[in-house]
Structure 1
Amino acid sequence: MIYIETKRSDHMKIFLASVMTLIILASCATTRKEPFQETEEYVDIERFTGDWYVIALLPTAFEKDATNGIENYSLTEEGNIRVQYTFRKDSPQGKEKIMTQKGWIYNKESNADWRVRPLWPLKLPYYILEIDEDYQYTVIGTNNFKYLWIMSRNPKMDEQLIQQISSRMTDRGYDMSEIQYMEQSWGSNQ
C-alpha cells in the first residue's frame, strides 16, 4: 500500500513539474523583448473581420500541403478575436481541416498588434503589417520573421501586387525566397 501511494505521489510531482515548466515557458514567450515590427497605423476591426483567402505564405508546418485556405476573423462578445482557419489537405478535394484560435488585441490604439493562442498556454505575436485602404488585401507577420501570410478578400490576387508586397517584406527582413503560393481552386464540385 505504501509503495502504491509513493508511486502515485511521484506521478503527481512529475505532473506538477510539467505544468510549472509550461507556465514558465509561456511567460517567457510572452514577456521577452520582441523584435520591432512596424504595423499598420490603424486597423478598423469591424472592416477587418470576415473571410480572407490565403494567397501566398511563409508556411507553418501544418500548412505546407494546404490548399483553399481561408482565414476568418470575428469578434467575440468579450471584444476578443476568434480566428478560424479552414483549408483542405493536399488538394482542393482533400480532407477539410479547421483550426480555431483565440486572439487578443494587444495594442488597442492601432488594433494591428495582436496575440494569438494556437495552443494553451502560448500567446504568440501576430502583426497586421499591411492592409490596403479598401480592405481588399492584408499581410500578416510574426515576431520571428519566419511566418507570413498574404491574404485577399478574393481567391485570386494580381501577381504584380504580390511581387510588390514580397519586395517590401524582403526589405523588412522576411526571407521571401521561401514564399509559397497556396492553390485556391473553387470549382462547382468543391
Structure 2
Amino acid sequence: MRGLSSLMMVALLAGCANSGTGPVPPRTVDAVDLQRYQGTWYEWARLPMFFQRNCAQSEAHYALQDDGSLAVVNRCLTREGEWQQAEGVAVPQVTGETDKLWVRFDNWFSRLLPGVAKGEYWVLYLDDDYQSALVGHPDRDFLWLLARSPRVEPAQRDRLLQVARDRGYDTGALIWRAADGELD
C-alpha cells in the first residue's frame, strides 16, 4: 500500500510539474532595428498557410511609422498572374522589444474580433546586413524565409534552412517561391 501511495504521489507531482508547459518556444534574435528592417522583403519559402494557399510569389513591404509600429503590405502573385494584397500593422508584443511582434491585418475578421485577430511574428534569424531573415510562429506551424532579393543564393538558403531546423521547424514541408517562368 505504501508503495502504491508513493507511486501515485510521484505521478501526481510529475503531472503538476508538466501542467501548463509545452514545447520550448524557438529562440529569437536579441533585437530588430525596425528602421533597418523596413523596406521590401521577398519570400523565398514558407510553410503551408491558408491565407497564402494560392500564392506563387509573395513579398512584404514594411514602413516604420511615427508611433514605432510598422505598416505592413503583403502582396502575392497568384499562379494566374493576379496580384492580391493585404494591409496591416505590426507592433512589439512587449514595449521596447522588437524581436516578437503582433501583426494585425485590416480585414473582416480583424474588424469583427479586433483583440483576437492578430498573429505572432517572431524574428528567428536576421543577418548582420539585414539582407535575409527567418520569421516564424512560436508554435512552429508557420515559417517564412525572407530576403531583400527574389533570387535564392544557395549558401544563404542553406544557412536559413539550418537555422530553421535548429529552431525546431519542419523544413521538408516548405513551399518554395515560383520562378518567373513557372507562372505560365
State TM-score, norm by structure 2: 0.75
Instruction: Give the whole-Å Cα distance in 1 for the aligned partners of 2:94 and 2:123.
Output: 11
Give runs of aligned pairs for residues 91-130 of structure 1, distance below 5 A.
91=80, 94-118=81-105, 119-120=109-110, 121=114, 122-130=117-125
Kindly indicate whether the alpha-carbon contact (under 8 Å) linking 2:58 and 2:77 is maintained by their aligned counterparts in 1.
Answer: yes
Give the corresponding residue for 1:77: 66
Deviation at 1:64, TM superposition (A): 2.8
1:133 and 2:128 aligned: yes
- Whether the 8 Å contact between 1:55 and 1:184 is mirrored in structure 2 is no
**Residues 180/131 of structure 1: CA separation in 2 closer, same or farther (3 Å cut):** same
Q: Give the residue type in structure 2 aligned to 1:96.
A: W
Which amino acid letter does the alignment assign opposite residue 66 of structure 2? Answer: E
Work out whether 1:90 is the aligned partner of 2:79. yes
Deviation at 1:127, TM superposition (A): 0.4
Q: How far has the Cα of 1:101 moved from its partner?
A: 1.7
Structure 1 contact 103–117 (Cα < 8 Å) conserved:
yes
Instruction: Give the gaps of 5 or more residues in structure 2.
Output: 1-21
Judged with a 3 Å threshold, the aligned counterparts in structure 2 of structure 1 residues 177 and 171 are, in CA distance, closer, same or farther, namely same
CA distance, structure 2, for counterparts of residue 137 and residue 106 of structure 1: 22
Partner Cα distance (1:184, 1:104) in 2: 32
Asked if the contact 2:26/2:168 (under 8 Å) is kept, the reply is: no
- 2:169 is aligned, of 174, 187, 190, to 174
Task: Return the offset for 1:96.
Answer: 0.7
Q: Is the 8 A contact 1:35 1:144 kept in 2?
A: no
Deviation at 1:34, TM superposition (A): 9.1
Which secondary structure state, in structure 2, belongs to the residue aligned with residue 106 of structure 1? strand
1:89 deviates by: 1.1
Once the two structures are aligned, what percentage of the paired residues are identical? 24
SS across alignment from 1:46:
helix
Q: Is 1:54 the equivalent of 2:49? A: no
> What are structure 1's unaligned runs of at least 5 residues?
1-32
Residue 150 (structure 1) shift: 0.6
* Aligned mates of 2:119, 2:125 — CA distance in 1: 19
Q: Secondary structure at the match of 1:162?
A: helix
* Secondary structure at 2:57 match in 1: strand
Whole-angstrom distance in 2 between the partners of 1:35 and 1:104:
23
Regions of 4+ moved over 3 Å: 107-110
* Higher deviation after alignment, 99-108 or 124-133: 99-108
Q: Take 1:46 and 1:103, find their aligned partners in 2: how far apart are those partners?
A: 13
- RMSD over aligned Cα, in angstroms? 2.2
Paired residues of 2:39 and 2:61 also in contact (CA < 8 A): yes
Deviation digits for residues 100-142 of structure 1, max 9, x if unmatched? 1221112344411101113422222110111100111011101
